[in-house]
């Protein structure tokens, strides 16, 4: 894709407004392409890995987890944030085992998604995990979720019917379908 240099904004000053456990809120003064100044508020995020884990019976491993900001229990793909200096594949392997108890013999990187480009630097790297072995989950302190598996076709119907609304999960399924299309 060609870079549109005439649309690039330049940072004049960057201020950290808040620092939390896994994100920082920033407020930057920027120069617009026309030379005027404006403000940009955004979240600096460490990034994450997300896993499409499939059993030999073509069932997908999913999680139910309460998401406080939206006040709902959501059905989602397993995922987690990167630790400092952690590679996305290492994060994916760690999160799959911690959250679901599963480990995988085969790992394929499917692609990357920038889920909130208007207000966050978050980058999610997606992996397909196959040849699974089930073990015991080891959730982080304060983490509560329920792991399930269901036939992939059944889950895809839920996606198409609008029953799954988590953008991370929807993006992952699009990348997985693209992988299947390329590898027919």
pLDDT for 19 = 96
Question: 79 vs 34, 63, 120, 184, CA distance in Å?
Answer: 40, 9, 17, 27
pLDDT digits (tens, 9 = 90+) for 26-51: 999 999 999 999 999 999 999 999 99
| 48-53/37-45 β-pairing | unpaired
Burial class (CB in 10 A: 0-12, 13-18, 19+), 20: exposed
Of 140 and 64, which is predicted with more confidence? Answer: 64
pLDDT digits over 66-76, tens only? 999 999 999 99
Which CATH number is 48-182 given? 3.90.79.10
pLDDT at position 139: 85
Please provide the average confidence, as pLDDT, over all residues in the chain.
96
Average pLDDT value for residue range 8-13: 96
Output the pLDDT for position 97.
Answer: 96
Provide the pLDDT confidence category of residue 113 given band limits of 50, 70 and 90.
very high
Helix (H) or strand (E) holding 4: none
Q: Domain ranges for the chain, please list them.
A: 5-44, 48-182
- For the stretch 175-184, pLDDT in tens is 999 999 999 8
Q: Are 133 and 103 in contact (CB under 8 A)?
A: yes
86, pLDDT greater than 90: yes
């Amino acid at each position: 894709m060609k870079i549109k240099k005439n649309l690039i904004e330049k940072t004049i000053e960057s201020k950290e407004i808040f620092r939390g456990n896994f994100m920082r809120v920033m407020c930057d003064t920027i120069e617009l392409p026309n030379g005027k100044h404006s403000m940009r508020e955004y979240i600096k995020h460490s990034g994450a890995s997300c896993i499409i884990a499939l059993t030999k019976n073509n069932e997908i491993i999913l999680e139910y987890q309460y998401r406080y900001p939206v006040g709902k229990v959501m059905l989602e793909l397993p995922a987690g944030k990167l630790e400092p200096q952690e590679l996305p594949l290492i994060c994916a392997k760690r999160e799959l085992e911690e959250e679901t108890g599963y480990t995988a013999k085969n790992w394929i990187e499917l692609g990357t998604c920038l889920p909130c480009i208007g207000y966050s630097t978050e980058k999610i790297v997606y992996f397909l995990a196959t040849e699974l072995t089930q073990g015991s989950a080891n959730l982080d302190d304060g983490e509560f979720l329920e792991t399930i598996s269901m036939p992939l076709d059944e889950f895809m119907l839920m996606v198409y019917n609008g029953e799954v609304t988590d953008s991370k999960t929807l993006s992952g399924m699009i990348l997985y379908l693209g992988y299947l299309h390329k590898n027919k």
